[in-house]
């Protein structure tokens, strides 16, 4: 018996909500679900029975549809002034880190630059979010779901293999992945814990997940 689109969406509701939850801090999750559902339907119509699991195939469609929706939302457009300020912030943070031999606080950076702390924080948040979206769209194949297979994330044997793979990582790499995927912290929260920008966390996360994928396929 062939299921209707409505039945398929109902059956995969949690799958779509899980992907949508990545951006629920910025948007209503039910709205994101509706957008993700459009991507899911597109995936269903384009899917051909090949070696790739349907959920793995659909993941990129759902995530891509959500990210395109957010990128096209005028409320998160970032001005060139904010991007310039963000660039100045990252360069100053790197410079002061070397000078102070420690990661400077936002207050210390804003004081050094002579820029209001609230203004600087606003520019950072807006810029990091948009840059992170761009990187997610380009690097989503290296999310944890793709590394272990979406249908297998609750498989205890797979998680054991994944944890064993973590032992082969450098301490800072292992800490980042454990915080992100085994304790459930967001990239923003991890960036504060590790003294990194959200963009740096995103880049490092993609790099480490690629490394984990290689160790698990050996």
Residues 6+ apart with CB under 8 A from 168: 215
pLDDT band at 126 (very low <50, low <70, confident <90, very high): low
* Residue 71 located in a structural domain: yes
Same domain membership, residue 99 and residue 67: no
pLDDT for res 168 = 76
Same domain membership, residue 34 and residue 92: no
Comparing C-alpha atoms, which of 62, 32, 31 is closest to residue 46? Answer: 62
> What is the torsional sign of CA 84, 85, 86, 87?
positive
pLDDT for res 149 = 47
Same domain membership, residue 96 and residue 58: no
Same domain membership, residue 96 and residue 117: yes
Residue 211 has pLDDT above 50, yes or no: yes
Query: Which token pair is 190?
Result: 């991890």
pLDDT (tens digit, 9 = 90+) per residue, 76-113?
Answer: 555 667 778 888 888 898 889 988 898 888 889 989 99
Same domain membership, residue 168 and residue 102: no
| Residue 158 structural domain | 143-218
CATH code of the domain covering residue 160: 1.20.140.160
* Residue 128 located in a structural domain: no
How is 63-81 classified by DSSP, letter by letter? Answer: HHHHHHHHHT-GGG---HH
User: From CA 79, how far away is CA 58, in angstroms rounded?
Assistant: 33
Same domain membership, residue 72 and residue 93: no
Same domain membership, residue 150 and residue 110: no
pLDDT for res 34 = 93
pLDDT (tens digit, 9 = 90+) per residue, 194-207?
Answer: 888 888 888 888 88
For the whole prediction, is pTM greater than 0.75? Answer: no
Same domain membership, residue 217 and residue 151: yes
Same domain membership, residue 72 and residue 11: yes
CB 165 within 8 A of CB 96: no
Overall domain count for the chain: 3
pLDDT (tens digit, 9 = 90+) per residue, 127-185?
Answer: 766 666 555 545 544 445 444 444 443 444 454 455 566 677 888 888 887 777 666 67
CB 66 within 8 A of CB 43: no
């Amino acid at each position: 018996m062939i299921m209707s689109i409505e039945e398929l969406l109902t059956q995969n509701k949690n799958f779509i909500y899980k992907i949508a939850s990545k951006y629920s801090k910025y948007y209503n999750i039910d709205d994101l679900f509706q957008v993700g559902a459009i991507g899911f339907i597109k995936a269903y119509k384009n899917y051909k029975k090949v070696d790739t699991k349907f959920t793995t195939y659909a993941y990129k469609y759902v995530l891509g549809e959500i990210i395109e929706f957010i990128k096209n939302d005028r409320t998160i457009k970032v001005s060139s002034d904010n991007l310039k300020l963000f660039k100045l912030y990252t360069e100053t943070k790197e410079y002061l880190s070397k000078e102070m031999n420690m990661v400077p606080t936002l207050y210390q950076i804003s004081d050094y630059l002579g820029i209001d702390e609230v203004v600087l924080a606003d520019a950072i948040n807006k810029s990091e979010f948009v840059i992170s979206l761009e990187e997610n769209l380009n690097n989503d194949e290296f999310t944890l779901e793709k590394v272990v297979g979406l249908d297998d994330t609750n498989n205890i044997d797979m998680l054991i293999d994944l944890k064993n793979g973590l032992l082969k990582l450098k301490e800072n790499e292992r800490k980042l992945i454990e915080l992100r995927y085994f304790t459930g912290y967001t990239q923003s929260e991890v960036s504060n814990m590790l003294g990194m920008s959200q963009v740096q966390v995103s880049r490092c996360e993609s790099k480490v997940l690629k490394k984990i994928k290689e160790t698990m396929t050996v």
